[in-house]
Structure 1
Amino acid sequence: MLAPSYLPESKQLLATELVDGLESNALSWLSGYFAGVAQGRQFSARPAAVPVAPPIVAAVAGTSTAQQLTILYGSQTGNAKRVAESLAEQAGGHGLNTRLVRADSYTTRELKDEQLLYIVMSTQGDGDPPDDSLSFVEFLSSRRAPKLPQLKYAVLGLGDSSYPIFCGIAQRIDARLQELGATRLHEVGTADLDIETVALPWQETAIEEARKVLKQSEDAPIASVTPLHPKAGKTTRDQPFRAELLLNQAITGRDSSKDIRHLEISLEGSGLRYQPGDALGVWPTQSAALVDQVLAIQNLSPDESVTISNTTRSVKEWLGQHRELTQLTKPFLVAHAELAQSDELKTLLQPEAIDDFRALLETRQLVDILKAYPACWSASALVKTLRPLTPRMYSIASSQTVVDEEVHLTLANIAYEYEGEARWGAASRFLSELDEGDQLSIFVEENPRFRLPADSSRDIIMIGPGTGVAPFRAFVQERSTAQASGRNWLFFGNPHFSSDFLYQTEWQQALKDGSLNRLDLAFSRDQSDKIYVQDKLLENAGDLFDWIQGGAHIYVCGDATRMAKDVHQALLQIAQQEGGFDAAQAKEWLDELAAQGRYARDVY
């Protein structure tokens, strides 16, 4: 679109350069900013905050830094980002001078001057910070962090109570800010996967506290705010699209220990768009057999009505479509231990038993606990204590430029036995049992931190063992269609070549036609010594370092607990071996790659 003719030609060029390449949220922010300028308002707009600002950040004329609310967020999958944007939207709507900034865009030297800081932080893995917050957390934890007697703050953590350490990073940040002399305005919020249950009341109180600190009167004018939330009819997490399954195909051999599926789903009529690196959210339903087993153990009538928050359903419907049954959570276990009066279970919940507690979470499900530690739950109490069922996120395995109104997934069907009884993952079982023509509820989750380079001449290095290869199928499809000149190098691993080489024929064709330049494989069980992708990285250390120093982007997708950490250590070792760095320099080198967006991880 051309700039209006009433702009001088030089300004037209500046305006074009300004908006080129900006994402929609940044463009919306600029719209609000310039509207404010036209009305004579002043905005506090620090450059670091602009790329991640919400659609409108309200400011009060004549305010100083001391009269500003800074909202800092760290997000792995986008949930913390959405909550932080909502918080900024509310603050702006109340006329508070507010800025929103992602943790890796925050200039840490500003911390000593902050007066009011709200932190929204998701938990990665077992109590760790998300990738975009590693540097901020490291600085805050170090001796370089300043004393903060002038700072008032609040922390909201997002986590998953099926992990032993729930919202661990939020608790650590809160404790550290206390050590540095800051004043806590509001208790730490710890939101489970049903985020709004905790996040919404936390936000309301936090806004009231901010109004007091910034001394805003109750009759201060409320700014006009552009809604962050989608209009009715738009597909979202809470308004998913009912899509048709087109294909459900096993892509592992009969003798494989894994059951991995390739799914193709129709997007016809949805209007959904996605980019390589994004995720697809899927709302599962529980197995009817599992629901019946829970009801039988507790001797509950499936038709008994239960009302929660003015919503009435049968207990069978609550358990089948709205409650988590395959993942244990600490809040449920605490309540069950008390109801069952089980000293054994109470002992497992103590901090000193963290390893045994972790093993319990990894090996047992709800029915195991109900049978091992009998207790008499009422239908209402059981439904209220169990965590709400939440969608599962899957890395998208297709490029929309290639598959058009479809989306593809690579699914590992989780199934095992515990004491001779079948156990499974709720979503993987739900998806693997769908037939072609069946419907499922889906939505797209953007992942802007896991994107192909804007410069298509850049090389990319993709590290994705197992189902972690999914987004890289999308990457190669996209780069091939766009005729990108940059080279593509894939590292893939799985147990066996003969039965576990996912998308084998596609990769072989990609090598043949040049859309994949290098492929290194690590089949861990095909020889006496186990070989993993990190071993292949070290084996190719010289070429790998040359690619990276030449501007290549590195992407890692898959298991966060072991693989991603081992790959990270391998990259540090390569930096020392090939670059001549010491340990500190190697870490700084890799941190800088991450800060530049050239080292990105999609791990879970």
Structure 2
Amino acid sequence: MELTVTNSPFNQEQSEKLNQVLSTLTKEQKIWFSGYLSAAAAQSNEPSASIVETAAPVSNEPKPKTREITILFGSETGNAQGLAETLESKLKEKDFKVNLACMEDFKPKDLKKVEDLFIITATHGEGDPPDNAITFHEFIHSRKAPKLNDLRYSVLALGDESYEFFCQTGKDFDNRLEELGAERLHSRVDCDLDFDEPAEKWMEGILNSIGHISGHESTEPVKVNPEDISATQTYSRSNPYEAEILENINLNGRGSNKEVRHIELSLEGFTDSFEPGDCIGIFPKNDPEVVSDLIETLVWNPDESVPINDAGDTLTLRDALTNHFEITKLTKPIVTKAANIFGNDVLSEKVKKDRWIYGYVEGRDLIDLINDFPPEDLQPDALHQILRKLPAREYSIASSYQATPEEVHLTIGAVRYHANERDRNGVCSVQFAERLEPGDTVPIYLKKNPNFKFPKTNETPVIMIGPGTGVAPFRSYIQEKEELELNNKAWLFFGEQHFTTDFLYQTEWQGWLKDGVLDKLSVAFSRDSEEKVYVQHRIEENSKEFYQWIQEGAALYVCGDEKCMAKDVHQSILNVIQKEGHYNEEEAEDFLTQMKKDRRYQRDIY
């Protein structure tokens, strides 16, 4: 409709000008302009004229109150924290009020005030919560936990499906919140090591559910960028950097039972800095010999094109088995899926017993599974329905960015063992030990670890406990300490099998000790004496001085094997606190728990 002096209150000149403007406007612009005139008229208490589009009526109904969102994370290596920060950012973009906190920093008594709760948590060890989630986990499972009938929630669980208690901490929180009367806003998602895609889908579900209920809905479903999930750096898990190998050196002497490689990678053109405690993730390749043996066992064509996911992406069979699928490690889901596809009656019967599965997968791979339970009619296009994606391997950085910003060093122990009548090799570690040389490249990404951070002050003494390759982050810290000329005291506990062949970075430690960068070095070489001596024994031998350092404000750092070393070291530290501080067992535990909360007791164990 065109404006004229007869169908509007405007004169000829006004009508012509308005018609000229209106002819250039889109529908959305016309609606906005109509609303603008209505609002302007309301402010001046004058009626507005409807031009072309009728403005939506202004409702006197009060807008629904936007519920406050709380995000809690329990994180051991930083993955859960990174995802929590991504979710926080996405919710704030939609104008939600968000409170983000680590579980240990959240006051349990405030739980009954929470309206919408999103939990993102890892699972540590054999189904245990991460260190920074223990207190909250204990509270919510105690009789002190309040009824939560007005709470809505959802849980994202991180884990490794090769462990028996896969994502157990997330399952615990999910079930307990339901028991306490809370309403599940969105189903729990359990993530394996390759967590980007399922975490992305969970966040999309959260954003769409909460937006719809709270009146934030849009015409298009929310989509989360996978790049936001991985990292904020230029290079990330989903966009790895191809790093050239500069050095690949065996640190062990002749005759050693170990083979530990010192790896130096070029970071030329890599734009992100790192700190002691951070990690480098590496995407490895499966051993070509194992791949060939598997193809021969299956009697398949290595050049045949096979799907690698449900989206229909394809690779040749050899490429898929080399670069994409994990074939050297069995998990309960893999064996269960195989039982559904293999058509082998014996396997189908055995998988009904969990205990059998967990006993069987130990030290076996896909070749074993196929030989032990021959498939009736397995086709190449079924592989992606059985196998998981080959996960990256993460290694603590062993160098300082301040000292060598154009390169990064790693300390990688070659894993070799014999099990079930076959020799077995670690996928990534033996790739470096046997098949990678200077000049080759590997795809990497930087993994920040906010839960393993060192002080950059002259006041805080540092005690570092790192046997074997666990010494890597401490080399990084001492390099940085020297570069920044920090004067705080530092004490290293290191252990291995033999002094003459296994003292990793020996000359460097002795040089730092001589120069005063390192104040004290306590070593334990378990095979050099009739009675085996480990780092935990050295801690208790130095009990009085160890406790004195703690009294002076020392921060304790432990890195290395979880199953044996970390537990034994933890107990030895408790013994020292109990003995020298004259505490009982419970008081010593409380003392060490407080040190954790104060970030004075940090662990990077695996």
Shorter-chain TM-score range: 0.7 to 0.9
Q: Post-superposition shift, 1:426?
A: 0.9
Summarize deviations over 1:458-514 as a string: whole Å, max 9, x none: 110000011000000111111122221111100111122222111111112221111
Give me the whole-angstrom Cα distance separating, in 2, the residues matched to 1:345 and 1:576. Answer: 52
| Letter matched to residue 187 of structure 1 | S
Residues 508/391 of structure 1: CA separation in 2 closer, same or farther (3 Å cut):
same
Q: Greater shift after overlay, 191-200 or 393-402?
A: 191-200
Give me the whole-angstrom Cα distance separating, in 1, the residues matched to 2:322 and 2:367. Answer: 14
Q: Post-superposition shift, 1:118?
A: 0.8
Residues 93/470 of structure 1: CA separation in 2 closer, same or farther (3 Å cut):
same
Retained in 1: the 8 A contact 2:77–2:451? no
Give me the whole-angstrom Cα distance separating, in 1, the residues matched to 2:484 and 2:72. Answer: 36
Q: Which residue of 2 aligns with 1:56?
A: none
Q: Which residue of 2 aligns with 1:566?
A: 568
Give the match's secondary structure for 1:87: helix
Give me the whole-angstrom Cα distance separating, in 2, the residues matched to 1:320 and 1:570. Answer: 44
Larger radius of gyration: 2
Summarize deviations over 1:191-237 as a string: whole Å, max 9, x none: 11121332222222222332355454557999xx9x95799992111
Q: Post-superposition shift, 1:315?
A: 1.6
Question: Which residue among 480, 491, 499 is the counterpart of 1:489?
Answer: 491
Give me the whole-angstrom Cα distance separating, in 1, the residues matched to 2:64 and 2:516. Answer: 57
Matched, 1:203 2:197: no
Q: Which residue of 1 aligns with 2:514?
A: 512
Q: Which residue of 1 aligns with 2:470?
A: 468
Q: Which residue of 2 aligns with 1:275?
A: 275
Give me the whole-angstrom Cα distance separating, in 1, the residues matched to 2:542 and 2:349. Answer: 48
Give me the whole-angstrom Cα distance separating, in 2, the residues matched to 1:519 and 1:192. Answer: 39
Q: Post-superposition shift, 1:593?
A: 0.9
Q: Which residue of 2 aligns with 1:176?
A: 176
Residues 419/588 of structure 1: CA separation in 2 closer, same or farther (3 Å cut):
closer
| Letter matched to residue 208 of structure 1 | N
Retained in 1: the 8 A contact 2:364–2:420? no
Retained in 1: the 8 A contact 2:261–2:432? no
Structure 1 stretches of 5 or more lacking a match? Answer: 1-60
Retained in 1: the 8 A contact 2:294–2:367? yes
Q: Which residue of 2 aligns with 1:53?
A: none
Give me the whole-angstrom Cα distance separating, in 2, the residues matched to 1:215 and 1:271. Answer: 41
Give the match's secondary structure for 2:575: helix
Matched, 1:377 2:366: no
Q: Which residue of 2 aligns with 1:314?
A: 316
Retained in 1: the 8 A contact 2:82–2:231? no
Give me the whole-angstrom Cα distance separating, in 1, the residues matched to 2:361 and 2:496. Answer: 25
Q: Post-superposition shift, 1:322?
A: 1.0
Q: Greater shift after overlay, 199-208 or 568-577?
A: 199-208
Q: Which residue of 2 aligns with 1:39?
A: none
Q: Greater shift after overlay, 583-592 or 387-396?
A: 583-592
Equivalent pairs counted in the alignment come to: 539
Q: Which residue of 1 aligns with 2:34?
A: none
Q: How does 1:61-140 map to 2 (within 5 A)?
A: 67-140=67-140
Residues 522/135 of structure 1: CA separation in 2 closer, same or farther (3 Å cut):
same
Q: Post-superposition shift, 1:324?
A: 0.9
Retained in 1: the 8 A contact 2:273–2:405? no
Question: Which residue among 531, 534, 546 is the counterpart of 1:532?
Answer: 534
Retained in 1: the 8 A contact 2:74–2:121? yes
Summarize deviations over 1:72-109 as a string: whole Å, max 9, x none: 11122222122222322332233332222222221222
Q: Post-superposition shift, 1:350?
A: 5.3
Give the match's secondary structure for 2:155: strand
Matched, 1:597 2:606: no
Give the match's secondary structure for 2:99: strand
Summarize deviations over 1:514-537 as a string: whole Å, max 9, x none: 111111112222223222211211
Matched, 1:441 2:443: yes
> RMSD value over aligned CA atoms?
2.6
Q: TM-score, normalised by structure 2?
A: 0.84
Q: Post-superposition shift, 1:346?
A: 5.4
Give the match's secondary structure for 2:521: strand
Matched, 1:165 2:168: no
Q: Greater shift after overlay, 395-404 or 306-315?
A: 306-315
| Letter matched to residue 119 of structure 1 | I
Q: Post-superposition shift, 1:344?
A: 5.9
Summarize deviations over 1:266-308 as a string: whole Å, max 9, x none: 1122223211111011111111111111111112111111233
Give the match's secondary structure for 2:185: strand
Q: Post-superposition shift, 1:351?
A: 6.3
Q: Which residue of 1 aligns with 2:254?
A: 254
Q: TM-score, normalised by structure 1?
A: 0.84
Retained in 2: the 8 A contact 1:458–1:553? yes
| Letter matched to residue 206 of structure 2 | A
Residues 588/345 of structure 1: CA separation in 2 closer, same or farther (3 Å cut):
farther
Q: Greater shift after overlay, 465-474 or 192-201?
A: 192-201
Q: Greater shift after overlay, 482-491 or 121-130?
A: 121-130
| Letter matched to residue 554 of structure 2 | A
Identity %: 39
Q: Which residue of 2 aligns with 1:297?
A: 297
Give the match's secondary structure for 1:338: helix
Give me the whole-angstrom Cα distance separating, in 2, the residues matched to 1:349 and 1:165. Answer: 17
Retained in 2: the 8 A contact 1:240–1:441? yes
Give me the whole-angstrom Cα distance separating, in 1, the residues matched to 2:232 and 2:553. Answer: 43
Q: Which residue of 2 aligns with 1:40?
A: none
Give me the whole-angstrom Cα distance separating, in 2, the residues matched to 1:452 and 1:388. Answer: 34
Give the match's secondary structure for 2:261: strand
Q: Which residue of 2 aligns with 1:408?
A: 409
Residues 509/383 of structure 1: CA separation in 2 closer, same or farther (3 Å cut):
same
Retained in 1: the 8 A contact 2:262–2:410? yes
| Letter matched to residue 417 of structure 1 | H
Q: Post-superposition shift, 1:143?
A: 2.9
Retained in 1: the 8 A contact 2:280–2:395? yes
Question: Which residue among 552, 556, 575 is the counterpart of 2:577?
Answer: 575
Q: Which residue of 2 aligns with 1:393?
A: 394
Give me the whole-angstrom Cα distance separating, in 2, the residues matched to 1:135 and 1:63. Answer: 35
